Structure 1
Amino acid sequence: MNQTFSKKGKIKQLLIILIPILITQLAMYSMSFFDTTMSGHYSSKDLAGVAIGSSLWMPVFTGLSGILLSITPIVAQLIGGKKRDQVASSVIQGIYLAVAMAIIVIISGSFALTPVLNGMSLEAEVYATARDYLIALSFGMIPLFIYSVLRSFIDALGKTRVTMMITLLTLPINVIFNYLLIYGKLGFPELGGVGAGYATAITYWVITVISIVIIHKQMPFSGFGIFQTFYRISLGKWKEILVIGVPIGFSIFFETSIFAAVTLFMSEFDTATIAAHQAALNFSSFLYMIPLSISMALTIVVGFEVGANRLKDAKEYSWIGVSIAVLMAFVCGVILLFFRPEVAGIYTKDPMVIKLTAQFLIFAIFFQLSDAIQASVQGALRGYKDVNITFIMSLISYWIIGLPVGYYLANHTNWGAFGYWIGLIIGLAAGAVCLSSRLIFIQRKRLNAKSAI
C-alpha cells in the first residue's frame, strides 16, 4: 500500500484492494453456493439437509474465523508504523491459535451435533444428510482456519490479488469433486448432499497448501520470513490477537447465528418452506459478500492510515467505502427485484419451492441497504481497532431486537415464515444506525485527541 493525497487516489487504491477481495469472497462463498445448488438438483431433501448443515456451520466458522481477522489490523498497523520485524511472530502465533481453535470446534461438535439436530423437527432423510454433511466438512476445519490467518496476512499487505488467484484456482476443484461425489460419477461413490461436504473439505486442504508455498517462496511475503524461524507459543501474543479478535468474532457470530436460529425456529414448517427459505437466504448471503468485501478492504486501508497517524485520510477512506457499499446495494436490489423467479430456479426445479423462494427474495431486497451500511462501517471500526462496543451493538440489534420481533410476527400475525425475515430486516437496520453513530464518535474523538497534542 502507498499513501494517497486525493479523493481520486483513495478511490483508486481502495478499488485495487477491494476488487480482488470481492472476487475471492464470491469464490469462497461459491463453495457453499455450489454445495447447496448441486445438492438441490440431486433432491429437495438433500437441498434441505445441506442447507441446514450449512446454516449451523457458517455461524461457527464465521464467528471463530472472525477472531483470526484481527491479524489484518494488527499486521496493517505494524506495517503502517514501520515495525516489519514483528509481523512474522504475529502471523505464526495466529496459526497456532487457529489450529487450537479448530481442534476445540471438532471436539465440541462431536458432542453437540446430535442434540442440536434432535431439537429440530426434521424428516429422517434431511436429518441424516445434515449430520453427515457436517461430519464430512469437519475433515477440512484445521486447514480452513490456518488459511484464514494466511489470507489475513496476505491481504494486510494490500496484495489481495494473490488470495483472489489462489481461490479462483481451487474453486473448480470444489465443483469437480461435488460432481463426482454427489452424483457418483467416474467410479466415485454416490453420496448425495454429503458428498458436497467431502468435496469442500478437500478444497480447504488444497487452498491452504498453495497459500503456504506462496508465502514461503514468493516476494514480498517471503521477505517477512514467516516460516523461516521457529516461534514458541506466546500466550501474550495470543492475548493480543484475542483482545481484538474475540469482539470481532462475536460481532460476526451474532449476525450470522441469528440466521441459524431462524432456521431452527422454521423447522416447524414443511420441507418446501425450509428449502425455499434456505435457498433465498443462501442467495442473500451470496450478495452479502459485496459489503463484506468492502468491510475487509476498509479494515486494511483504515488500519494502514491509523498506524501512520493519518487520521483525516482514515476518515475519508471510511466514508468512501460506505458510499460504494450503499451504491452497490441499490444496484443489487434492483436486479433482484426483476429476476427473482430466475434466481429461485437456480436452486431447484420444484415449482412450489421456486414460488416460495421468489416470495422470500422480496424481503431479501430490503436486506441489502442495511447490510451495506453496517458491514462497511464495522470494517472501518476494525481498522481503528475499535471492536468492543461494536460487539455489544451487534448483540442488541440482532438478538434483542431482530429475533424477538421476527418470532412475534411469525407466530402471532398472518406473516407466518415471512415474519422472521421482517424481524431480521429491522435488526439489521438498527445495527446500521448504531454502528454509524459509533464510527462518527470514534473519528471525532481521534481527531480531537490528535489536535490537542
Structure 2
Amino acid sequence: MYPTKTLKEKIRLFMIILIPILITQVSMYAMNFFDTIMSGKAGAADLAGVAIGSSLWVPVQMGVVGILMAMSPIVAQLTGANAHEKIPFTVQQGMYLSIALGIIVTIIGAFLIDPILSMMELEERVRHVAKYYIITIGLGMIPFFVYNLLRSYIDGLGHTRTSMVIILISLPLNILFNYIFIFGKLGLPAFGGIGAGIASALTFIINLILSILIVHHIRPFREHRIFKTFLKPSLKEWFDQLRIGIPIGFSIFFEVSIFAAVTLMLSVYNTNTIAAHQAAINFASFLYMIPLSIAMALTIAVGFEVGGAKRIHDAKVYSYLGITSGIIIAFIAGSILYLFDDQVARLYSENPEVIALTKQFLFYAIFFQFADAFGAPIQGTLRGYKDVNITFWMSLVSYWLIGLPSGWLLANYTNLDAFGYWLGLIIGLSAGAITLFGRMQYLQRKLIRKYS
C-alpha cells in the first residue's frame, strides 16, 4: 500500500489489490462449487445432503472467519501509521485466538449435530450424507481458521497476490481429492457427498502449511518474524481483536445464515426442490465472490488511508470507486444468470425436474445479487473505518427481522411456495444495502468535518 493522489492512481492501486483477492475468493468458493457439482453427479440425495450440511457448516465457518477478518484493518492501519513493530505480537495473538475459536466450535458442534438434523424432515440418505459431510469437513476446521487469520494478515499488508498463489495451488488438489473420495478412486470406496467433506478438510490443511511456509520464509513477511519467538497468549489482545472482529463476524453470520435458514425451511419440500435450491444458491454465491472481493479490497484501501495521515477524502474516493465497480458487475452477473440459466442448471444435475426448478430459482437470484453488489462494498468500506458495531445491528434487523419473516409469509400465504423465501431474501438484502449506505454517508461527513 502507498498514498495516491489522482483518481487514475487510485484505480490502478485498487485493481492491483482487488484482482488477486478476486481470484483468491473465486478459487476458494470454487471448492464449494465443485463440491456441489460433483456431489450432484453422485445423485440428488447426495446433493441435497451436501446442501443441508453446508447450510449448517457455512454460517459458522464464515462467522468465525469474519471475526478473524479483523486482522486486515488492524494490520492495514498499523502499516499506514508505520507501526510495524506491533504487527508480530498482534498476528500471534490472532493465531491463538483462531485456535481457541476452532476448539469451541468443535465442542459445541459435537453436541448439536444430531439434535438439529433430527428436527428436520429428511430422507435417511440425505440425513446421513449431511451428518458425515459436517463431521469430515470439521476435521479441517482449526487449520482453516488459522489459515484465514494468516491470510488476513497477508492481505492487510497489501500483498494479496500471495493469497492468490496459495489458493491457486490448492484448488486443483481439492478437485482431485473430490474425484478420489466422492467417486471412489485409487481403491477407496465411493463416499458420495461425504467425500466432498473429506476433500475440503485435506485442502484446508494444505492451505495452512503453504501459508506458514510463506510467512516464515518469504519477504516481506519474514521480516516480522511471526514464527521466530512465540509470546504468551494475551487475553487483553484477544478482547481488543474480538471487539472489532465479533461485529464483523456476526454481520457476516446473519447474512450467510439467512441463506442457511432458508435451506433448512425448504427441508419440508421434496428432495428435488432442496437440490435445485442448493444448485441455484451455489452458483449465485459463486457470483457473490465478486462484490465480496471488492469489499475486502476496500477494507484494506480505506483502512490504510484513515490509519496514517487521516486522508479522509481519499478514503471516500475509494469507497465510491468500489460501489461503482459493484454495480457494474451486478449488470454483468445478472445478464449471465438470465442468458445462461439452462446451461448453469445442467452443471448440477441431469434430472429434468431439478433442472427446471433450478432455472426458476436462478431468476430470483438475478435480483438479490444486485442488492449484494451494492451492499457488500459498503460493508467493506465501514470495516476499513473500523465502524463495525452499527453494521452488526443493521444486518440483524435487515436479514432476520425483515428478510426471513417476509420470505416465510410469502412462501406460506401466497402461491409462490418455495420461491417466496427467495423473494424474502431480496427484500432483506435490499433493506440492508440501503441502511448501510446511509450509515456510510453519515460517517464520511462526520470524519470530513473532524479532520478538515
Structure 1 counterpart of 2:412, one-letter code: N
Q: How does 1:216-235 map to 2 (within 5 A)?
A: 216-235=216-235
1:5 alignment partner, SS class: coil
Q: How does 1:44-443 map to 2 (within 5 A)?
A: 44-308=44-308, 309-443=310-444
Deviation at 1:171, TM superposition (A): 0.5
Structure 1 counterpart of 2:444, one-letter code: Q
Instruction: Find the aligned partners of 2:218 and 2:335 in 1 and give their Cα distance.
Output: 42
Deviation at 1:94, TM superposition (A): 0.5
1:285 alignment partner, SS class: helix
Instruction: Find the aligned partners of 2:9 and 2:322 in 1 and give their Cα distance.
Output: 13
| Deviations 1:291-310, CA, capped at 9 Å, x for gaps | 00000000000000000111
| Deviations 1:351-380, CA, capped at 9 Å, x for gaps | 100000000000000012110111100000
Instruction: Find the aligned partners of 2:112 and 2:369 in 1 and give their Cα distance.
Output: 33
Instruction: Find the aligned partners of 2:20 and 2:400 in 1 and give their Cα distance.
Output: 33
Instruction: Find the aligned partners of 2:435 and 2:149 in 1 and give their Cα distance.
Output: 29
Instruction: Find the aligned partners of 1:258 and 1:118 in 2 and give their Cα distance.
Output: 20
| Deviations 1:155-187, CA, capped at 9 Å, x for gaps | 011111110011000111111111011111121
Deviation at 1:2, TM superposition (A): 1.2
1:415 alignment partner, SS class: coil
| Deviations 1:302-354, CA, capped at 9 Å, x for gaps | 00000011111001001100100110011110111010010000001101000
Give yes or no for contact 1:330–1:368 (8 Å, CA) kept in 2.
Answer: no
Instruction: Find the aligned partners of 1:185 and 1:450 in 2 and give their Cα distance.
Output: 63
| Deviations 1:193-237, CA, capped at 9 Å, x for gaps | 101101110000001001000000000010111111211101111
| Deviations 1:267-291, CA, capped at 9 Å, x for gaps | 1111111110111011111111000
Instruction: Find the aligned partners of 2:384 and 2:196 in 1 and give their Cα distance.
Output: 35
Instruction: Find the aligned partners of 2:192 and 2:126 in 1 and give their Cα distance.
Output: 11
Structure 2 counterpart of 1:379, one-letter code: G
Give yes or no for contact 2:55–2:264 (8 Å, CA) kept in 1.
Answer: no
Structure 2 counterpart of 1:183, one-letter code: F
TM-score with structure 1 setting the length: 0.99
Deviation at 1:48, TM superposition (A): 0.5
Output the aligned Cα RMSD. 0.6
Between 380-389 and 260-269, the greater mean CA deviation after superposition: 260-269
Structure 2 counterpart of 1:206, one-letter code: I
Give yes or no for contact 1:98–1:145 (8 Å, CA) kept in 2.
Answer: yes
Structure 2 counterpart of 1:41, one-letter code: K
Give yes or no for contact 2:299–2:383 (8 Å, CA) kept in 1.
Answer: yes
2:149 alignment partner, SS class: helix
Give yes or no for contact 2:51–2:263 (8 Å, CA) kept in 1.
Answer: no
Identity %, equivalent residues: 57
Instruction: Find the aligned partners of 1:327 and 1:448 in 2 and give their Cα distance.
Output: 31
Give yes or no for contact 2:117–2:131 (8 Å, CA) kept in 1.
Answer: yes
Give yes or no for contact 2:137–2:200 (8 Å, CA) kept in 1.
Answer: yes
Instruction: Find the aligned partners of 2:183 and 2:278 in 1 and give their Cα distance.
Output: 22
Instruction: Find the aligned partners of 1:57 and 1:30 in 2 and give their Cα distance.
Output: 16
Deviation at 1:189, TM superposition (A): 2.0
Q: Could you tell me which residue of structure 1 aligns to residue 25 of structure 2? A: 25
Instruction: Find the aligned partners of 1:141 and 1:11 in 2 and give their Cα distance.
Output: 36
Structure 1 counterpart of 2:330, one-letter code: A
1:227 alignment partner, SS class: coil
Structure 2 counterpart of 1:51, one-letter code: A
Instruction: Find the aligned partners of 1:344 and 1:253 in 2 and give their Cα distance.
Output: 27
Instruction: Find the aligned partners of 2:119 and 2:276 in 1 and give their Cα distance.
Output: 21
Deviation at 1:81, TM superposition (A): 0.3
1:58 alignment partner, SS class: helix
What number of residue pairs does the alignment pair up? Answer: 451
Instruction: Find the aligned partners of 1:231 and 1:367 in 2 and give their Cα distance.
Output: 46
Unaligned runs of at least 5 residues, structure 2: none
Instruction: Find the aligned partners of 2:100 and 2:350 in 1 and give their Cα distance.
Output: 42
Instruction: Find the aligned partners of 1:158 and 1:75 in 2 and give their Cα distance.
Output: 10
Instruction: Find the aligned partners of 2:42 and 2:85 in 1 and give their Cα distance.
Output: 52
Structure 2 counterpart of 1:90, one-letter code: T
Unaligned runs of at least 5 residues, structure 1: none
